[in-house]
Amino acid sequence: MTQQVKVIGIVAGEASGDLLASHMMEELKRAVPSVKFIGIGGPKMQAVGMQVLFPQEKLAVRGYVEVLRHYCEILGIRRKLRAYFYAHPPDLFIGIDAPDFNLDLELKLKEHGIPTVHYISPSIWAWRGERIHKIKRAVSHMLALFPFETPLYEKAGIPVTYVGHPLADILPEVPNRNAMREQMRLPMQSKVFAFLPGSRQSEVRNLALIFINTARVILQKLPEAIFLVPLATIETRRIFEEILRHCGGQNLPIRIQFGHAHDAIIAADVVLVASGTATLEVALLKRPMVITYKMPALSYWLLKPKAYQPYFGLPNILAGKFVVPELFQDNATPENLAQALLNWLSNKEAVTELEAIFTDMHSTLRQGNAHKAAQAILSYLGMQQGANK
């Protein structure tokens, strides 16, 4: 008997969502081989067989000013996507992160009788908590990555499942730094810094020069230091290399890599990382770090008063306290960043304590994420959990 084809509409707005969604999609295909995915996604989702209606890059903007600049285009994409799903109703819609885009779309689709799952809770625990009322209207089921999120949704009467974080399943609990240095042909005795200036083009433009000048300050004290800069795309690599040439940094010991961010983190003694999902990757790989960020001043001053907590970085949020430094905006000077990075090198006891905190964090977040997410979704496809036909 031929199995009925199930269609899932899906939207992931940026690279981190592309990774999260792709593993969940693979699990769903194992359970329901005939399932089809259509919407907006990146290369990893496309590799699982997704039909893309609009390129993911169109949605990968951050901050009020940047969103306003692209507002009309983004609004047009959402309107066309909504019309498509009205005309070709999927069995289920899944919004992956991108709450400002997805929640409005989910609201309309749910009103139209299409079940909606939102994967990755908006950070209502950090700012804009009033969004939970809109979430209740828009979302049939929330999939939460962090354990402290579930009580918030249960209290509001929103179906929720804690699925853990996929990075905790993927990344090794005990990374082997010596083996990685051998593989990358890095001297064991050298002090190695991994610099991660972000996955978005705007982030690299804002941070590249600061990172390069931070390397210069460090080299004044550690002339033998090596800097690894993994960049996610051809375009972000081009931007970084252009800024490096423009500021005369071609002779600095900076090794630009295409991808392989996890390798660079494992090999490093300490990491300088742009605020975002990469901070969690660094924590799960048990490396000390300094978190930084720079955005247009207007965006920052509009966002800052809305924050409920004194920290922005995921490692500090998960720990419930400052366990790694955060240096943003005017505080993100090369001198400040260099000093904060060098402080980790001179305090082995603090590094050992941090590794223990990150090990506990890893254990909590390792939940078999993709399988848990797929199991929660199956009931909305009219399938029994554990279906494999």
pLDDT in tens, 244-266: 999 998 899 999 999 899 999 99
Q: What is the mean pLDDT of residues 54-69?
A: 60
DSSP string of 54-110, one letter each residue: EEGGGG---SHHHHHHTHHHHHHHHHHHHHHHHHS--SEEEEES-HHHHHHHHHHHH
CATH number of 170-365, picked from 3.30.750.24, 3.40.50.300, 3.40.50.2000, 2.60.40.10: 3.40.50.2000
What percent of the chain clears pLDDT 90, i.e. is strictly above it? Answer: 73
> At 377, is the secondary structure helix, strand, or coil?
helix
pLDDT in tens, 361-375: 999 999 999 999 999
Whether residue 37 has pLDDT greater than 60: yes
pLDDT in tens, 96-125: 988 889 999 999 999 999 999 999 998 887
Where helices occur in 190-296 by DSSP H, the ranges are 201-221, 234-246, 261-267, 277-284
Whether residue 308 has pLDDT greater than 70: no
pTM above 0.85, yes or no: no
pLDDT of residue 19: 84
**CA distances to 178, 264, 340 from 183, in Å:** 9, 11, 28
Q: What is the mean pLDDT of residues 265-288?
A: 96
Where are the domain boundaries for CATH 3.40.50.2000 in the chain? 7-164+367-381, 170-365
Of 176 and 60, the structure prediction assigns the larger pLDDT to 176
Whether residue 65 has pLDDT greater than 60: no
What whole-number distance in Å separates Cα of residue 76 and Cα of residue 57?
15
Q: Strand (E) positions, the chain?
A: 7-12, 36-41, 51-55, 92-96, 116-119, 141-144, 160-162, 192-196, 226-231, 254-258, 270-274, 289-293, 326-328
**Mean pLDDT of the chain, nearest integer:** 90
DSSP state, residue 232: S
Of 53 and 308, the structure prediction assigns the larger pLDDT to 53
On the 0-12 / 13-18 / 19+ scale of CB atoms within 10 A, 74 is buried
CATH code of 7-164+367-381, in short, is: 3.40.50.2000
